[in-house]
A and B are shown apart, each in its own frame.
Chain A
């Protein structure tokens, strides 16, 4: 399945000088809920929600729980920013990748990529923060007024 890298600088412009608007999504996730799910359902939970790259990234951490919770919050925040009429996300179709600089980028695939295309989303910005108890994420989708970049 081809993935669209929505934080690529090539997609981060302002649609050639046309009007843009923004939609915001935010989510808060309790770290203990995610840790309880990992404990209860193990790999089955991880494989249904996170991509192999996300699992590998989180499991490298000394404390994977907050990292997984941060990614879940990020997926939900991105999903909310896409303004779907269906409030259940295809979680694995929203992949969160940490850059060497420590910032996060978003890759969309499948239904989420199609939703972003329908919404004329030209760029997604994401920020994640977590403490031991909670993870929080904010996503901002830039909506171009003009035709979507293929």
Chain B
């Protein structure tokens, strides 16, 4: 079972690599608005694909919204939902 902390750490690593933000993803508040931190639409695609790869899941079409990718916390919650739907 992947813990919340592990998921959040992985999200921060992915954001560091693919988020193209001006802020340090490793120290950013989990609730910070990532669009305001500079994450573009195209960077969001890369973050989504990298998270799918890391967690071996696929974001559903209904998850492709601002709500899902607006913060580290919202991505963590979406991933927890996907992982619980497809436990390995």
Partner-B contacts on A (CB < 8 A): 27, 29-30, 33-34, 37, 40-41, 44-45, 48-49, 72, 76, 86-91
Contacting residues, chain A, for B69 (C-beta < 8 A): 88
> How many residues of chain B have a CB within 8 Å of chain A?
20
How far is A49 from B48 in the complex, measured between Cα atoms in Å? 11
Partner-A contacts on B (CB < 8 A): 20, 35, 41-46, 48-50, 52-53, 61, 64-69
Cβ distance A35 to chain B, nearest Cβ, rounded Å: 12
How far is A86 from B65 in the complex, measured between Cα atoms in Å? 6
Interface of A is mostly: helix
Interface of B is mostly: helix
User: Can you list 10 contacts pairing A with B, beta carbon distance less than 8 Å?
Assistant: A27-B41, A34-B42, A44-B49, A45-B45, A49-B45, A72-B42, A86-B66, A87-B35, A88-B64, A88-B68
Given known A88-B66, A88-B69, contact A29–B42 (CB-CB < 8 A) = yes
Cβ distance A39 to chain B, nearest Cβ, rounded Å: 11
Contacting residues, chain A, for B42 (C-beta < 8 A): 29-30, 33-34, 37, 72
